[in-house]
Amino acid sequence: MAAREFNLTFEAAPPANVRPGVPFAIPMVIAVRPIGTPASSGHHLVVNASLRDENCTAAAVELGGSLTASVISGRATFSSLMIPRPGRYRIRVMLSAATNNGVVTKEYVDSEVINVNAAA
């Protein structure tokens, strides 16, 4: 990635504890704020969500729900997210810009650990 052009934060973070296969009660919302004047200000920005292990060292089981969201008014909203199997995970969200040369990753941020268990 080039110099940072955006700051990503969880405006509505995923819950700390969830049951396997049950959608999150509220949508996850990512705030996307420009740092200075981004070079890609005229390009379409999207945010993608993926599931990682709790240390963020490897991809984890499939994350369910809407995994791609457009940035509208500085926010990207993910609804109906769910994690199918018990364990400890983090969600990684990556900001990408569609440019004339293809799609470029601009920034990413990881959630706090999410505990997935039947007793949640």
Which amino acid makes up residue 64? G
Report the predicted TM-score, pTM, of the whole model to 2 decimal places.
0.87
| Domain spans in the chain, listed from the N-terminal domain onward | 6-116
pLDDT at 61: 79
Average pLDDT in the chain: 90
CA distance 26 to 106: 26
CA distance 63 to 84: 7
| Whether domain 6-116 has CATH 1.10.510.10 | no
Give the rounded percent of residues in the chain with a pLDDT score beyond 70: 92
What Cα–Cα distance (Å) separates residue 85 from each residue in 21, 51, 54? 7, 11, 13
- What count of Cα atoms within 13 Å lies in the side-chain half-sphere of residue 29? 11
Beta pairing partners, 93: 49, 109
- Structure confidence at residue 38 as a pLDDT band (50, 70, 90): low
Instruction: Encode pLDDT of 80-108 as tens digits.
Output: 999 999 999 999 999 998 877 788 888 99
- Structure confidence at residue 3 as a pLDDT band (50, 70, 90): low
- Structure confidence at residue 1 as a pLDDT band (50, 70, 90): very low
Q: Work out the widest C-alpha separation in the chain, in whole angstroms.
A: 48
